[in-house]
Structure 1
């Protein structure tokens, strides 16, 4: 294969015919092109016929149903923070098996706030890791999470939610990832963890008055920005020194996540596309502040 920078395209009767009768969602149309070679694939040419910088013309299979861009820019924009947070919470703090080396001995892992953007990604990653994800959510989001891989869901508004989870897991739950991180969700998670104790990790600083109600549970929280390997110069508990190990782990982790996305084994969170570009973002931030955005991620196209 050759990677080319396309400088010009030409149209053919086949183009309108394919668009009208054979268009496949996610595929890219067009056949004739001319441009410049920017990369020559391994094994493409053993005679030296092609080299970077060559001016070439050629044809491709336009609207090829086997070569589709299955995800839009808007959907892709929803992934970054969630994948970064799951890296730290699931695979560094909780030390769970990675998706590229799934376990043969599955265990339960609770995702509190399963319908959040991070929660839906976490559920899918746990499934790929060979684990048994369970999640809390509102009843209307239950089927969505089960479709993503959750083996069971529980209504977080139920006063017996924690005990219901403990009963379902036969008192064996030892790992919890809290994507909501409120005192009430932490208390519910602590109740769900079995009598052997376990590990609890959250996305924000934890409520200390809940943290020490169980000495057999180790509580921690993640600062996602540490993955860059630089100091996180924020005040209070959010500050972090430079974490070179986090950057090294992130280099490995994002390559694994990229493969999962390419193979369509990791789906994006449901999105809500809003118009207005940059000028409308302040309204979206206010809606987030007021808790008015549920089970979806706000996306603003800029072009």
Structure 2
């Protein structure tokens, strides 16, 4: 099959001689109809390229064969899934291919009113926002036990980078779980963030952004998810947290320059691939041991989100659909690398649907 793999001298290359993966126990072989691009795809190929490994994290397609033990899915089902490409321990694991493996308990049936193109953009956001909000080292908030759970904590939670793909997913999950999500974003994206459930939006360009949030929350903010994770946004988030302290969680490694400026704030960051329950074999601080609790959590999370999708309670991030198939993906990755993609997820259609 054709697949986009790590190049021998860096970057991605299009190959046409990659073996179609064989379903392992608990997985399904899928014909990929669409893939979505994320900042992870740009960062991983620059930081830790694995030559010959299939890239990509997000895809949707049609199940063509199920592996041993799979009971939730059968051939012909429409499915969205998350995986993690350029994986040194499993070079066939990526999404940027004509066929890809979906893990049964980290996948969702795609409802009839959602296209596979739309669905391809959801898996990584589900995994990342879910871990960041509801699992250690994330914020460890209380998650609803079912899609129809009725709870209202009225507790504020700040999402820094509310117009990002993870930001809009986090906002939706927080709203469903009974929290009051507030976000930072550009003023041009206020309406977008409000449409996903943000109770208030704050301009991260403003020098008083952190102070404005602290005033709005009456000095009560204790939980922050930072989807941007640079020094200015981390400082802003620290300024926003109330005087009683709290928890700050980022999606990238955090700088000690800000981390220890307030001893009443517990700051940490996470690696979304740990949701697979297998070791994250990356060099340096990005490596992680196997965290089986993350896999158990992911199983419940994807079942919950499947129900939410069926109910229409979760929607995808705004999309920018690109044509050109797998060969178009390197250009899309470069757009991410240089910051040309804002408030949208790039999706590349392979077969449509």
The bucket for the TM-score relative to the shorter chain is 0.7 to 0.9
Contact residue 152 and residue 177 of structure 2 kept, 8 A: no
Q: Which has the higher helix share?
A: 1
Alignment of 1:1-303 (within 5 A): 69-92=112-135, 93-99=138-144, 100=146, 101-303=149-351
Aligned residues: 238
Q: Give the TM-score taking structure 2 as reference length.
A: 0.66
Secondary structure of the equivalent of 1:177? Answer: strand
Q: CA deviation at 1:262?
A: 1.2
Q: State the alpha-carbon separation in 1 of the partners of residues 249 and 193 from structure 2.
A: 20
Question: Which position in structure 2 is the counterpart of 1:14?
Answer: none
Q: CA deviation at 1:69?
A: 2.0
Q: What per-residue deviation string (whole Å, max 9, x for no partner) do you get for residues 107-131 of structure 1?
A: 0000000000000011111100010
Q: CA deviation at 1:76?
A: 0.6
Give the ranges of 4+ consecutive aligned residues of structure 1 lying more than 4 Å apart after TM superposition: none
Q: State the alpha-carbon separation in 1 of the partners of residues 152 and 312 from structure 2.
A: 22
Unmatched 5+ stretches in structure 1? 1-37, 40-67
Secondary structure of the equivalent of 1:133? Answer: strand
Unmatched 5+ stretches in structure 2? 1-73, 76-110
Q: State the alpha-carbon separation in 1 of the partners of residues 143 and 289 from structure 2.
A: 26
Q: CA deviation at 1:79?
A: 0.6
Q: Give the TM-score taking structure 1 as reference length.
A: 0.76
Q: State the alpha-carbon separation in 2 of the partners of residues 130 and 77 from structure 1.
A: 27
Q: Which has the higher contact order (CA 8 A, sep 6+)?
A: 2
